[in-house]
Structure 1
Amino acid sequence: MPTHTALTSADLREIRQSALGAADPLGIAAELADAVDAGRLTDENDAGFALMLAAEIAESRTKLDAALRYVERAVNTYATRDDSEVGAARALRARILFRSGREDEAMAELEPLRPLLTRYPDAAAYLGAALAVGGRNQVAEEWLTEAVRVALAERAASTEQSAEPVSAEDAGLLFFLLQQRHRIRHAIGRPHDAHDNLAERLESKLARAGASAAAESADDLLFWPHAEFDSMVVQWPALSQSYGGTWDQHRARLERELVRLAGTGRTGLTLLPGSVAGLIGYAGRDGEPADPKTRASYARQLAAGSRQINWPPERNEPCWCGSGSKYKKCCLPRSRG
């Protein structure tokens, strides 16, 4: 356990990685709760995260009464929110209730969370995990089937989209629902249906796209920090077609591309922070900075250096884009657009 007077978000992430291997993990869980009570968190918004971490530690040691106390406090911390964070806390509470033999209470906790499946990509994972602990994979499959039906109906109602997605990126949240449903159906021995076939087609396309991307230029991951982006589009307006018309669009494109690459199994992904001066300097007197070949070559030079930005950060870490906000509040949601 860190000895700092106050615990930072980084401290909590470190604890998450190391607590279960510590000599006294239950003592760490108690100290986390004490840090919340004593106001020893540098960011008060981390209180729910700290209490959920304490609950997970206690759960791992089968101290289910303590785990429930911690997670109930986490849920109360998130009481005024209506987002995926509170959903994850309540799903954790249901999971612990299942382990405690309180199955009816666990299901009563999970049932109201079903609408989150069509709002947040990670909801399929934490709801599925809770139902699996309770031996309710069949229920998970039913919920995901309904969520897929709703997502497809919403898609069909849109005049801007085709009836069936043509890629994982085009599918958006629907892709995550199809994947999770497909895996659960495989686990419980269900025969393939049309949704399973769609999931496999999208996964196959994603894998092929990933293989192609690996052979393409590192220019796809060239990142222009805010001030550099503004200078770049003033100097070369046509590059807004390659990098986005605004900095928000630029960040969203990169986040979606990184999510796509990760989905193909790529690891060690990094962003390559560029600068207008660096690109001009690389091009030299005889090169054209805005030329695609020049930019691709510049990106490869950056990829060989040591200034890459590792991706993804933890949800509570500062965002990779340098905005100063936490990743979960900044660029993480951009991948869902």
Structure 2
Amino acid sequence: MLANDVLTSADLAELRRSALGTADPLGVAADLAEAVDEGRLANPEDAGDALSLAAEIAEVRSRLGAALQYADRAVAAFPEEDTPGSGFARALRARILFRLGRDDEALEVVTALRPMLTEQADAAAYVSAALAAGRRDATAEEWLSEAVDGMLEARGEAPEEVGPPEAPGVLFFLLQQRHRVRRDLNLPHDRQDDLADRLETQLNRGAQQPPADEADLLFFPQAEFDQVRPDADWDAHRARLEKALVRLADGGATGLSVLRGTAAGLTANGDPSDAAVRARYARQLTDLPDTHIAWPPERNATCWCGSGLKYKKCCLPRSRS
């Protein structure tokens, strides 16, 4: 059922987005486990992630027995407990145990993950989700509050150092998850909730300033590109844009598009190799609706780059290269 005989990390990321929309999600889960058994992972260290995905699929489809078997295997596949992905696999196992009514076992598993709340950015979400499965949201609020208190005390006078927009720190995620849990519990807004709101505003403001190499999202059809950058590769140009769009979409951005530029328009603004010149030209194009090429197209639709090929055969695979 899987499209590729050998699964790369990019393939697993794509399956995480699309598996539940396939005709047979449980078949995908079984195929993932089979790929692990048969050594068909490009990176053998992805075994835990592949099995975690199989467990998630089975859990969503309410096949809890199969989900627990996959989760057990996922936990065992990680060589160390602090290996990235191991904490999520263990929390997933706890979540499934809660849903099976095995609360004591589940609580023991998730309690062991509590120290990770101040160590890993995603721990707040997966620990809370596990506790929520056991209807222990009040416990999640208690743990998150204690973790936040400890981190704020350690930071002293600099609680708002949340990190850059593309990689906010552990404190940010702790505060945001605590804020969500407290809202679900209908608890009154407190000072830490105010801080969560303030940090989110700060981070969103920074996120509006994308990295220089993604700031313009300028696209040039091949003939125009050859005039602008005769020494460069148009395929690399398309791949950079596709990857940038995927990163933005994964970060929650919607209504994405590239801006169709021309060689004459760009050179009229200055040196085509100057990032500031490209950004200025992009701002000019932003207000012109006929320059926007919507992204992403449907998999079987014509690719956005104008090659005439289907998207799935053209630029979609470039995001994984």
TM (norm. structure 2) is: 0.67
CA contact (8 A) 1:118 1:147 kept: yes
Aligned to 1:100: 100
More helix per residue: 1
The verdict on how the C-alpha distance between 1:196 and 1:262 changes in structure 2, with shifts beyond 3 A counting, is farther
CA contact (8 A) 1:218 1:296 kept: no
Aligned to 2:39: 39
CA contact (8 A) 1:84 1:116 kept: no
The verdict on how the C-alpha distance between 1:300 and 1:81 changes in structure 2, with shifts beyond 3 A counting, is farther
Aligned to 1:232: none
Give the whole-Å Cα distance in 1 for the aligned partners of 2:58 and 2:69.
Answer: 10
CA contact (8 A) 2:35 2:41 kept: yes
Higher relative contact order (CA 8 A, sep 6+): 1
Amino acid at match of 2:56: E
Aligned to 1:163: 158
User: 1:194-233: per-residue Cα shift (whole Å, max 9, x none)?
Assistant: 11121122234445x269x4xx79858449xxxxxxxxxx
What is the DSSP-based 3-state SS (H/G/I as helix, E as strand, rest coil) of the residue aligned with 2:113? helix
Q: How many angstroms does 1:145 deviate by?
A: 0.7
The verdict on how the C-alpha distance between 1:84 and 1:218 changes in structure 2, with shifts beyond 3 A counting, is closer
The verdict on how the C-alpha distance between 1:5 and 1:164 changes in structure 2, with shifts beyond 3 A counting, is closer
Aligned to 1:335: none
Q: How many angstroms does 1:37 deviate by?
A: 0.9
Is 2:66 aligned against 1:79? no
CA contact (8 A) 1:217 1:296 kept: no
Gaps of 5+ in 2: 217-243, 297-316
- 1:79-228 correspondence to structure 2 within 5 Å: 79-156=79-156, 162-165=157-160, 169=164, 172-207=169-204, 209=205, 213=208, 219=212, 221-222=214-215
Aligned to 1:294: 277
User: 1:87-125: per-residue Cα shift (whole Å, max 9, x none)?
Assistant: 000000000000110111111101111121112211111
Aligned to 2:20: 20
Give the whole-Å Cα distance in 2 for the aligned partners of 1:262 and 1:218.
Answer: 16
Q: How many angstroms does 1:71 deviate by?
A: 0.7
Gaps of 5+ in 1: 157-161, 224-254, 273-278, 310-317, 325-337
Give the whole-Å Cα distance in 1 for the aligned partners of 2:16 and 2:59.
Answer: 14
Give the whole-Å Cα distance in 2 for the aligned partners of 1:138 and 1:112.
Answer: 18
The verdict on how the C-alpha distance between 1:87 and 1:302 changes in structure 2, with shifts beyond 3 A counting, is farther
Amino acid at match of 2:158: A
Out of 254, 258, 264, which is 1:267 matched to?
254
The verdict on how the C-alpha distance between 1:135 and 1:164 changes in structure 2, with shifts beyond 3 A counting, is same
The verdict on how the C-alpha distance between 1:44 and 1:148 changes in structure 2, with shifts beyond 3 A counting, is same
What is the DSSP-based 3-state SS (H/G/I as helix, E as strand, rest coil) of the residue aligned with 2:76? helix
Q: How many angstroms does 1:301 deviate by?
A: 8.0
CA contact (8 A) 1:219 1:295 kept: no
User: 1:125-168: per-residue Cα shift (whole Å, max 9, x none)?
Assistant: 11111111110111111111111112112212xxxxx4331777
> How many aligned residue pairs are there?
268
The verdict on how the C-alpha distance between 1:165 and 1:319 changes in structure 2, with shifts beyond 3 A counting, is farther
User: 1:177-210: per-residue Cα shift (whole Å, max 9, x none)?
Assistant: 1111011111102112211121122234445x26
The verdict on how the C-alpha distance between 1:291 and 1:188 changes in structure 2, with shifts beyond 3 A counting, is same
User: 1:20-68: per-residue Cα shift (whole Å, max 9, x none)?
Assistant: 3444333332222121111122221221111112111221222222111
CA contact (8 A) 2:2 2:28 kept: no
